[in-house]
Structure 1
Amino acid sequence: MIYWLQRVGALPAAQLLPFAHMITITYFGSLKLLQPSGSEQLEWSGGTTDDLLSALRGRGPDWDEALSPGRVFKLALNQQLLHGPAPLSAGDEVAILPPVTGG
């Protein structure tokens, strides 16, 4: 049925992706060098925060290095610090926080 609706132009293609949704990613500290605006909205079809990090690492060598598993950084999901992978849902906000130093 969806195929027919797409062929006759009854629905725009964007409405034919029932499993895709938007999440917001906010970058802090040195990670802003990768995304100077400090945040972005990303179409996400499902998965966990680990899946998200893997997808971001796939953007290129700079991303892979900055978000490598050996690097120290924290993730927050909807303003709550995470201590392990978490599922992502439509409308979620993920913050990637590098270590903070100071004295």
Structure 2
Amino acid sequence: MKSILQNEKKCFICGRAMTCGPDRLELHHCFYGRPFRKYSDQYGLTVWLCGDSCHRNGKNAVHRNHAVDEEVKKIAQRKFEETHSREEFRQIFNKSVL
């Protein structure tokens, strides 16, 4: 499913639209691990991130900075709850971040 969080292919965190070079965009699943990556795909809870700086290794990268990761998750849950209930979110993802 297409992302419900973004219409453009640009970094969700910094806004860069880099598609090539050393820090090209990578798809990030807002909720990851088994089986949550699959559910993130199914419900469109994915975002594009600069691979090195915003996704994996930078100071504010979602896989290194818990606060940034939690904020992305909160944004994703709020968007999900525009068309679904919080209880449905809990049933699918086993928790609520809000």
TM-score, normalised on structure 2? 0.28
More strand by share: 1
TM-score, normalised on structure 1?
0.27
| Structure with the larger RCO, 1 or 2 (CA within 8 Å, 6+ apart) | 1
Bigger share in helix: 2
